[in-house]
Amino acid sequence: MRKILAASLLGLSLSAAGLANAEPVKVGMITTLSGGGAGLGIDARDGFMLALKNAGATDIEVVTEDDAQKPELAVQIADKMIQSDKVDILTGIIWSNLAMAVVPNAVAQGKFYLSVNAGPSALAGEKCNQNYFNVAYQNDNFHEAMGQYANKDYKKTFIMAPNYPAGTDALTGFKRYYKGELAGEVYTKVGQTDYAAEIAQIRASGADSVFIFLPGGMGIAFTKQYAQSGVGIPLLGPGFSFSQDVLAAIGDAALGVKNSASWAKDLDNEANKKFVETFQAEYGRLPSVYAAQAYDTGNLIVSAAAKASVKDADAFRAALKEAKFDSVRGKFKFNTNNHPIQDLYVREVVKEGDVLTNKIIGTSFTDHEDAYAKDCKM
Amino acid sequence: MSTALIIEQLLNGLQFGVMLFLMAAGLTLIFGVMGLINLAHGSLYMIGAFACAVVAAATGSFWLGLAASLVAAAAAGALVELAVIRRLYDRDHLDQVLATFALILIFSEGARWVFGSFPLYLDIPPVLQGAVSLLGGAHYQLYRLAIIGVGIVVAAGLYLLISRTRLGMRIRAGQSDREMIAALGVDIGTLYTVVFALGAALAGLAGALVGALQSVQVGMGEPVLILAFVVIVIGGIGSVKGALVGAILVGVVDTLGRFLLPKLFAIFLGPAEGATTGAAVASMLIYIVMALILAFRPKGLFAANT
Amino acid sequence: MTAGAMNRETLFNTVLAVLLLVLPLAAVAIGEPFYVTLATRMAILALAAVGLNLALGLGGLVSFGHAAFFGIGGYVAGIFASHAFNQEPMLFGFEGSDQMPVIWLSAMLVSALVAVPIGAISLRTSGVYFIMITLAFAQMIYYFAISWPAYGGEDGLSILTRNAFPGLNTAQPISFFLICYGLLMAGLLLFWFVRNSRFGAALQAARQNEARVAAVGIAPFRIRLAAFAMSAAITGVAGALFADLNRFASPSMLSWQMSGELIVLIVLGGTARLFGPVAGAILFVLFEFALGGLTERWQLFLGLILLGVVLFARGGLIGLFAGKARHG
């Protein structure tokens, strides 16, 4: 009985996709499901699985494993998935340092890698690869969008990030488009959770706005302390620090914060409505930008698998590159370096009933490309 | 650089130090009395924060949450002492390190199992919102001042407890000669459980107080744990006074380092380069201080007998 | 300890050594190359722990910072390879190297050179102070690696093609495994040799009774410092191999959890036993692999197992099979 049901579902999805291709696809999902960063990985996994479920894609098999946010473990799992599980596609990694460890090796072995989140600059530029597709963004994008937006209202911004490559990249990205003066540029310790010293500097700096890139617990801690300190200068940041997964923990302190992202739950298109609705129904919470990116990744695989066999790498690659799927971000296409060309929005944290969430208040860039595509020779 | 900013930064250092003291006091007591090195102390800090967040969310009262954090951490401490720690007193440090390392894994994954993977919400109580004006035009957040106050009260309370009460007498006796107090007919098992629960409660208190400032999530305890170890090693393991001095030293050095070093390096290297290099040195600063102190005083500043 | 127990331990060791060699060869034969990677990981972690075992097992020096040397070895491999690849001179016109023997020797040298000052300060202390100060030094290096932009900071450093070994194709998993296995055996031989030497006897005597050793005119400090540096060098080589296995060096190799894991390997297998680290590494990697495939809560179960071993199975795996060790 179940088999018949599955078969008819499969039939449905195939007819929906138009062109039938029966070759099953095996996807290896490596993501962070344990430890402090697990919230992001769980959202990505859930978004990805939801895409397959909504598309009725029973011919796509997924093996999922936890990388515990450790690069060595991620490498080991990737080796296992390639050598033992014989997957065709790898995906799921959240963190840039893990992506840097896994992606070059995986694509060198002829596998496809589709990034649901991390987009380190090296992989977008010189070390780009035809089998590496980033469905999310290049790391600098959200920061660039905020730098561009800040030009409108602010002349003297205080900028801050953790002292590691993603942090320096973030501030570089911001400065690439920001034309005003910097009231200060501060790098904090990775994993730092007390920002009293930095907040005192912000207060004393005479800034008219503050831009921070502090992912995860660091951002929660900073935003709460910043609101409590009563400094009151407008706070700006990339969407990561004010994404749905952390808003509940920040609480009302996040209200009014402007942040940039490629997606928000109120983005007006059919695919997004269905995504938000089904995600809430399935998991009982609002999706984050990580879930949205993973959902798009799932749909991208479904669309490519309907066009070409994954065993025919060239045809499958071409099908991926076409990106003919209904993105929850509205329009979506790949640049020459297989990174997205997409619109970037500025969102504001608002309260809907009891729930904190993001609302789009403006567009920062339309059809934005990353700064590294020109270094990519493919 | 104004006086107000410097006063504010010194207070920040003091507040950070006080928070470290709450962690370090328990660690150093437990080591002093039982000779046990407890890596899972950070987990008790996490338990305090989670208990406070959950109870505060359910009742709407931060104060009930704070009480819950003390109870939950003390209870968890007592339970762990009875079930596991008790078997480790006569083991060498290696076994203790390993068993409590295992406890970290168990507590962290256990907490994630119970509370989920997403950080919890905890805010400071309404009475302590806002800032006060201080001398020299400095502003300081009321809640952080309150933490400093709590730290002073705890330090004074511990001093009185150890010097004036019967329990304190036993603790002192335990620190100087473990066999002797058993011979004196003190129920040593109960004493150990009480001391462990006391240390756990202090860690839980720290977790709850800090949880309201930072984020309540799995893994929040380990970075603080490592700093607390630095504190007690600088202060002299087993000495509560050493823990207090060490904590404030680490708090102030770390805060001022983060604040001043980037400015210092910027003079030579320019703003962007100076900011990153200064921050890099600042993140290593307390370990450098610790190495220097131990190079000259291998048993810390106020060595108790070990 | 009885002669029977000795024989049992020798037998057990032999079985372990043969098993670790035969399984990957069999895996290749049946076309499951992933198990070669797993076995390589076991061999490398075992070698790192053999290094630590020298300080911890023989010398009683509970270093909670050996990840520092593991990571340094890894970075030596990464940095040498990246300079060789890009043909950029690093120091004094030296252009790095992608030859494993050069990298190994350098990793040993650099690890030992870093270990000498760390040891010189740390060994002035003992007991808990020693545990904590070694941890603090490792943290210092960890934060340095994260915030040092030249070699990737927290993103780590990729090794694009695995470094070369004369006469072998290291890109083949099985060849690389054999290299690691060979080095593990060399490490074990060195450990055995040290344990049975006069130096080793003095080191162990210093652990058991410091005053007596000092009384016969041996300075425990120097012996310990030498053992600490030697131990760091072995762990450093393992780090270089680990970076080559993953084709990646990262600050997480320097993290305090890594130091903890190295200790775990030793105690799981059996402290101060010749093959303790080997047994521990095999067990640990198997746990991680099997539990990780079963449940995302595997760290909880790993914790429970570890706790069980510490509380109820003193002497580790080898202790279970071969009885109590000579060192009580």
Q: What is the pLDDT of residues C258-267, one digit of tens each?
A: 999 999 999 8
Are both A61 and A6 inside the same structural domain?
yes
Contact criterion met (CB < 8 Å) for A165 and C154: yes
CB-based contact, A104 to chain C, within 8 Å = yes
Do residues C263 and C134 touch, judged by C-beta distance below 8 A? no
Are both A163 and A130 inside the same structural domain?
no
Beta bridge partners of C282: none
Q: How far is A187 from chain C (nearest CA, A)?
A: 10
> A378 lies in a domain?
no
Kindly report the CATH number assigned to the domain that includes residue A71. 3.40.50.2300
Q: Is the pLDDT reported for residue A7 higher than 60? A: no
Q: Which 8-state DSSP code applies to residue A179?
A: -
The pLDDT score that the predictor gives to residue C163 is: 87
Q: Which of A84, A122, A164 sits opposite C153 (nearest CB)?
A: A164
How many other CB atoms are found less than 10 A from the CB of residue B192? 21
Residue A149 parent element (H or E): helix A141-153
The pLDDT score that the predictor gives to residue A5 is: 43
Do residues C154 and C251 touch, judged by C-beta distance below 8 A? yes
The pLDDT score that the predictor gives to residue A249 is: 85
pLDDT, tens digit, 9 for 90 and up, residues C219-257: 889 999 999 999 999 999 999 999 999 888 989 899 998
Q: Which residue bears the tokens 């997480």?
A: C252
Q: How far is B294 from chain C (nearest CA, A)?
A: 7
Q: Which of B94, B109, B279 sits opposite C271 (nearest CB)?
A: B94
Rg (CA), chain A: 20
Q: Which residue bears the tokens 């488009």?
A: A177
Give the ipTM of the model, two decimals please: 0.85
Are both A254 and A296 inside the same structural domain?
no
Q: Which of A193, A213, A242, A351 to mutate to test the interface with B (most CBs of B within 10 A)?
A: A193
Q: Which residues of A touch C293 (CB under 8 A)?
A: 65
Beta bridge partners of A102: none
Are both A297 and A365 inside the same structural domain?
no
How far apart, in whole angstroms, are the C-alpha atoms of residue C239 and residue C183?
Answer: 12
Are both A101 and A156 inside the same structural domain?
no
Contact criterion met (CB < 8 Å) for A35 and B219: yes
SS3 category, A8: helix
pLDDT, tens digit, 9 for 90 and up, residues A15-52: 444 444 557 899 999 999 876 678 889 999 999 999 99
> A106 lies in a domain?
yes
Do residues A229 and A255 touch, judged by C-beta distance below 8 A? no
How far apart, in whole angstroms, are the C-alpha atoms of residue A308 and residue A22?
Answer: 9
Q: How far is CA B295 from CA B123, C50, C117, C139, C147, in A?
A: 42, 28, 11, 17, 26
How confident is the prediction for chain C on average, in pLDDT?
87
Are both A122 and A270 inside the same structural domain?
yes
How far apart, in whole angstroms, are the C-alpha atoms of residue B98 and residue A81?
Answer: 32
Contact criterion met (CB < 8 Å) for A229 and B219: no
Are both A303 and A182 inside the same structural domain?
no
Are both A187 and A331 inside the same structural domain?
no
The pLDDT score that the predictor gives to residue A3 is: 42
Are both A116 and A57 inside the same structural domain?
yes
Are both A163 and A226 inside the same structural domain?
yes
Q: Which of C41, C149, C155 sits opposite A97 (nearest CB)?
A: C155
How far apart, in whole angstroms, are the C-alpha atoms of residue B85 and residue B79?
Answer: 9
> A173 lies in a domain?
yes
> A376 lies in a domain?
no
Contact criterion met (CB < 8 Å) for A228 and B124: yes
Enumerate residues 6+ apart whose C-beta is below 8 A from C3: none
Q: Is the pLDDT reported for residue A1 higher than 60? A: no
Hey, what are C173's tokens?
């998993």
Are both A182 and A311 inside the same structural domain?
no
Enumerate residues 6+ apart whose C-beta is below 8 A from C113: none
Phi-psi region of A74 (alpha: psi -120 to 50; beta: other; left: phi over 0): alpha
Q: How far is B245 from chain A (nearest CA, A)?
A: 20
The pLDDT score that the predictor gives to residue B273 is: 79
> A183 lies in a domain?
yes
The arithmetic mean of pLDDT across residues C168-195, rounded, is 92
Chain A / chain C CB contacts < 8 angstroms: 93
How far apart, in whole angstroms, are the C-alpha atoms of residue B221 and residue B223?
Answer: 6
Q: Which of B119, B143, B275 sits opposite A186 (nearest CB)?
A: B275
Are both A156 and A182 inside the same structural domain?
yes
The arithmetic mean of pLDDT across residues C80-107, rounded, is 83
The arithmetic mean of pLDDT across residues A236-240, rounded, is 92
- Of A323, A337, A322, nearest to A371 (Cα)? A337
Give the count of domains, chain A: 2
Helices (H), chain A: 2-17, 38-55, 71-83, 96-108, 121-124, 141-153, 165-177, 196-205, 217-229, 244-250, 270-283, 289-307, 313-322
Contact criterion met (CB < 8 Å) for A70 and C41: no
Q: Which of A95, A140, A164, A218 to mutate to test the interface with C (most CBs of C within 10 A)?
A: A164
Contact criterion met (CB < 8 Å) for A224 and B214: yes
Residue C317 parent element (H or E): helix C316-322
The pLDDT score that the predictor gives to residue B306 is: 43
Q: How many CA atoms lie within 13 A of C212 on its CB side?
A: 9
The pLDDT score that the predictor gives to residue A131 is: 95
Instruction: Pick the range with the lowest mean pLDDT from A213-222, A253-262, A267-276.
Output: A213-222
Hey, what are B155's tokens?
């330090």
**Sign of torsion over alpha carbons C43, C44, C47, C53:** negative
How far apart, in whole angstroms, are the C-alpha atoms of residue C43 and residue C19?
Answer: 12
Q: Is the pLDDT reported for residue A12 higher than 50? A: no
Q: How many CA atoms lie within 13 A of A229 on its CB side?
A: 28
SS3 category, A352: strand
**Sign of torsion over alpha carbons A276, A280, A286, A290:** negative
> A377 lies in a domain?
no
Query: Percent of chain A having pLDDT more than 70?
Result: 94
Q: Which residues of A touch B12 (CB under 8 A)?
A: 196-197, 200
Q: Which of C42, C70, C159, C246 to mutate to test the interface with A (most CBs of A within 10 A)?
A: C246
Low-confidence residues in chain B, pLDDT < 50 = 305-306
The arithmetic mean of pLDDT across residues C10-23, rounded, is 89
CB-based contact, A188 to chain B, within 8 Å = yes
The arithmetic mean of pLDDT across residues C11-16, rounded, is 88
Q: Which residue bears the tokens 């990464």?
A: C78
How far apart, in whole angstroms, are the C-alpha atoms of residue C130 and residue C123?
Answer: 7
The pLDDT score that the predictor gives to residue C185 is: 96
Instruction: Pick the range with the lowest mean pLDDT from C10-14, C33-37, C321-325.
Output: C321-325
SS3 category, B305: coil
CB-based contact, A68 to chain B, within 8 Å = no
The pLDDT score that the predictor gives to residue A168 is: 85
Q: How far is A248 from chain C (nearest CA, A)?
A: 24
pLDDT, tens digit, 9 for 90 and up, residues A128-151: 999 999 999 999 999 999 999 999
Rg (CA), chain B: 20
How far apart, in whole angstroms, are the C-alpha atoms of residue A308 and residue A317?
Answer: 9
CB-based contact, A126 to chain B, within 8 Å = no
- Of C241, C247, C245, nearest to C85 (Cα)? C247
| Res. C4 pLDDT band, cuts 50 70 90 | low
The arithmetic mean of pLDDT across residues A222-245, rounded, is 90
> A375 lies in a domain?
no
The pLDDT score that the predictor gives to residue B279 is: 85
How many other CB atoms are found less than 10 A from the CB of residue C29? 8
Q: Is the pLDDT reported for residue A288 higher than 90? A: yes
CB burial class (10 A; 0-12, 13-18, 19+) of residue A309? middle
Q: Which residues of C touch A (CB under 8 A)?
A: 32-35, 37-38, 41, 143, 146-147, 149, 152-156, 158, 160, 242, 246-248, 250, 252-253, 288-289, 292-293, 296-299
Q: Is the pLDDT reported for residue A11 higher than 50? A: no
How far apart, in whole angstroms, are the C-alpha atoms of residue A244 and residue A356?
Answer: 8
The pLDDT score that the predictor gives to residue B46 is: 95
Q: How far is A164 from chain B (nearest CA, A)?
A: 9
> A312 lies in a domain?
yes
Structural domain harbouring A174: 141-261+344-369
Q: Which residue bears the tokens 């060399």?
A: C186
The pLDDT score that the predictor gives to residue C227 is: 95
Q: Which of C137, C271, C302 sits opposite B105 (nearest CB)?
A: C302
- A70-74, A297-301, B132-136 — most confident range: A297-301
Do residues A69 and A35 touch, judged by C-beta distance below 8 A? yes
Contact residues, A window 20-79, toward C, CB-based 8 Å cutoff: 33-35, 65-66, 68, 70-73, 75-77, 79
Contact criterion met (CB < 8 Å) for C253 and A72: yes
CB-based contact, B33 to chain C, within 8 Å = no
CB-based contact, A221 to chain B, within 8 Å = yes
How confident is the prediction for chain A on average, in pLDDT?
89
Contact criterion met (CB < 8 Å) for C248 and A189: no
Q: Which residues of C touch A33 (CB under 8 A)?
A: 296
Q: Which of C135, C144, C300 sits opposite B106 (nearest CB)?
A: C300
Contact criterion met (CB < 8 Å) for A249 and B215: yes
The pLDDT score that the predictor gives to residue C5 is: 58
pLDDT, tens digit, 9 for 90 and up, residues A187-205: 988 788 889 889 989 988 9
